[in-house]
């Protein structure tokens, strides 16, 4: 484990709790059962990478019921209807939180969302074990998140390669140049720049701009956190970003689809876009 695990008690507790949950679930659901489900039951993965490279701003809209810092974000949390609303509003892809204890997520939420839409769906979780990748594909996830700061180089490379073997291209999340170098060394193809410092939880959109030039053109660049208006999308696009992850703001609006349409649309003359104080975790 690298330094980010030691940067805050909340993150450390989440990862420790996740490992305990995985150990239990491995006993209940052996890997061989997951492999059979992937081979015999799961429908083929959708092309997540292609969805992020369409013309125009490509937003990965996130479904999240709760967060450790703010508690429940949305009491009326219905993944299928939320997914349909966000797809109709123009989301290029979805991200669904599946961590149970701190985010009140579940794989059932991901399954419900994916069945309701035609766009790809990413599993957002703390993936630290090969078993979770098989679990994600058995649940018909089309992609999954890997946090570079939680994994050593061998684990990062192995999880990426397993995902590709199963038809899923993972998003590798980085926070600084050192993590970006490690992600590129592991041959990551989708780089997510998290503008939120996991040590302080402060958000700096400048993080994306500082790392943009170091992301190779043949990688798909995703900016996460701190996107507050359509103008931010345009600035990030000009800097080289292909896609943008937007989460908590959408879930706290009465109509998440309307919130997404407002973010995607240029502001009318004399009118400002609504601010988006979005958080990834």
Active site residues: 62, 64, 124, 173, 194, 224-225
What the block records as the tokens of 106 is 């579940």
152 contacts 14 by C-beta, under 8 angstroms: no
Beta strands in the chain (DSSP E): 58-63, 66-67, 71-72, 93-97, 121-124, 143-147, 171-174, 190-194, 220-224, 243-246
Report the candidate in 167, 213, 174, 176 with the shortest Cα–Cα distance to residue 190: 174
259 vs 124: CA distance, rounded Å: 21
Pairing of strands 143-147, 171-174: parallel
3 vs 129: CA distance, rounded Å: 19
Query: By CB neighbour count within 10 A (0-12 exposed, 13-18 middle, 19+ buried), where does 169 fall?
Result: buried
Q: What would the DSSP string read from start to end of 222-265?
A: EEES---SHHHHHHHHHHT--EEEE-HHHHHSSSHHHHHHHHHS
Distances in Å between the alpha carbon of 119 and those of 38, 83, 140, 156? 20, 9, 12, 26
């Amino acid at each position: 484990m690298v330094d980010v695990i030691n940067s805050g008690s909340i993150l450390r507790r989440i990862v420790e709790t996740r490992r305990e949950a995985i150990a239990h679930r491995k006993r209940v659901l052996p890997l061989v059962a997951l492999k059979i489900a992937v081979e015999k039951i799961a429908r083929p993965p959708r092309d997540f990478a292609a969805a992020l490279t369409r013309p125009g701003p490509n937003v990965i809209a996130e479904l999240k019921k709760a967060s450790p810092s703010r508690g429940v974000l949305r009491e009326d949390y219905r993944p299928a209807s939320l997914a349909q609303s966000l797809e109709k509003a123009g989301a290029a892809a979805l991200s669904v939180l599946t961590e149970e204890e701190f985010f009140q997520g579940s794989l059932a939420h991901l399954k419900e969302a994916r069945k309701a839409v035609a766009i790809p769906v990413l599993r957002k979780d703390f993936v630290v074990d090969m078993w979770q990748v098989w679990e994600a594909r058995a649940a018909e996830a089309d992609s999954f998140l890997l946090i570079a700061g939680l994994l050593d180089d061998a684990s990062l490379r192995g999880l990426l390669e397993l995902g590709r073997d199963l038809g899923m291209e993972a998003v590798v999340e980085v926070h600084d140049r050192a993590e970006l170098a490690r992600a590129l060394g592991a041959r990551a193809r989708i780089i997510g720049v998290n503008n939120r410092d996991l040590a302080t939880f402060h958000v700096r959109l400048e993080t994306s701009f500082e790392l943009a030039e170091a992301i190779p053109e043949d990688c798909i660049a995703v900016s996460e956190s701190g996107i507050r208006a359509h103008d931010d999308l345009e600035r990030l696009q000009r800097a080289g970003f292909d896609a943008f992850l937007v989460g908590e703001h959408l879930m706290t609006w009465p109509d998440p689809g309307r919130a997404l349409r407002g973010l995607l649309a240029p502001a009318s003359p004399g009118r400002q876009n609504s601010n988006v104080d979005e958080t990834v975790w």
